[in-house]
Amino acid sequence: MMKKYFITILVISCVFSIGSGSVFAKEYESDNFSKAYKRFEEGKTNYTQAKTDWENEKQNDSQERLFEKTKDLLERSIDVLKKRNEQLRKRVELKEDVYKDYSDEIIKTLDDDSKNLENYLSNLIESTSTDTLNDVSLKISSHIQEQQTYLRKLVILSHIDQFENTTFKTVLDRNDKISEKIKELKNLGIDTLTVDILVKSASDQISSVRDNLNILRDEIKKQAIDSQKLADIEKRLISIQDAVKDIYQIFRKIAIEGNNLFSNKK
């Protein structure tokens, strides 16, 4: 008898867990991301403190203490990079809709990088002289230049793809719908000259956005992405966003004008 109840309750639990599982999983991932992001921010604060200590120590004459402070600064720097990887990994896991095809490669790159950083940290802890510290430091510098460019490319390209497949696609669909409606007006014998001008303007803007997206994508694929390039990319992304908003301003005008023409005919 008890066995029957147990099986029945188990079946019911399974049914409910299938429905609510994804919701709980998402919430769990979101919490994980929040925690990882907080640790990353804490890591940056610790790094800033270590850098202040190191700069203060440089004013003094104690080479031994300066060595310790330098070592501490490098350890804190590696810690920030590791925590950055950790929170970025959680972000990618949380936003599957954005990263899609790129997510596996991004996660693999982050995991490989974290392993390398762990090795560098071990070498650093074992360092007993400034020469070995310098050696480790320069190795890390060389490693992160290559790794970070690759990672940044993957992340930014995935966002550009997502923008193109969602927002920009909606713009194109809307443009098509507007063209169909203008045809309907023409079929009714309505003079659509005023909206035709606006439609031409919107089409030009759409072509410009498409070109800018393609140019930006090609550049990201080919070039290294340092701080300067990041600032440039940010500026251009905002410019593309503004251009899309301008297109919607034109669409709005077309809608008002087109609706008026249709109402007047009626």
Q: Measured from the CB atom, is 20 or 128 closer to other proteins?
A: 20
As measured in angstroms, the least distance from the Cβ of 25 to other proteins is 11
Neighbours of 52 (CB within 10 A): 12
Shortest spacing between CB 244 and other proteins, in angstroms: 4
| φ, ψ at 129 (rounded to 5°) | -140, 160
Q: Residue 38 or residue 108: which is nearer to other proteins going by CB?
A: 38
Nearest 10 degrees: Cα torsion 245, 251, 256, 257 = 130
Q: How many CB atoms lie within 10 A of CB 51?
A: 15
Residue 57 Cβ vs other proteins, minimum distance, rounded to whole Å: 11
Which of 211, 230 has the CB closer to other proteins? 230
Kindly state the smallest distance separating residue 137's Cβ from other proteins, in Å: 5
Rounded to the nearest whole angstrom, what is the least distance from the CB of residue 157 to other proteins in the complex?
A: 11
Nearer to other proteins among residue 111 and residue 260 (C-beta) = 260
Contacts of 203 (CB under 8 A, 6+ apart): 175
CA-derived radius of gyration, the chain: 28
Residues 203/243, Cβ–Cβ less than 8 Å: no
Q: What is each CA distance from 110 to 64, 88, 151, 188, 255, in whole angstroms? A: 35, 8, 8, 60, 47
What is the smallest separation between the CB atom of 222 and other proteins, expressed in angstroms?
18
- In the chain, % helix, strand, coil (3-state, to 5) comes to 95, 0, 5
211 burial via Cβ count (<10 Å: 0-12, 13-18, 19+): exposed
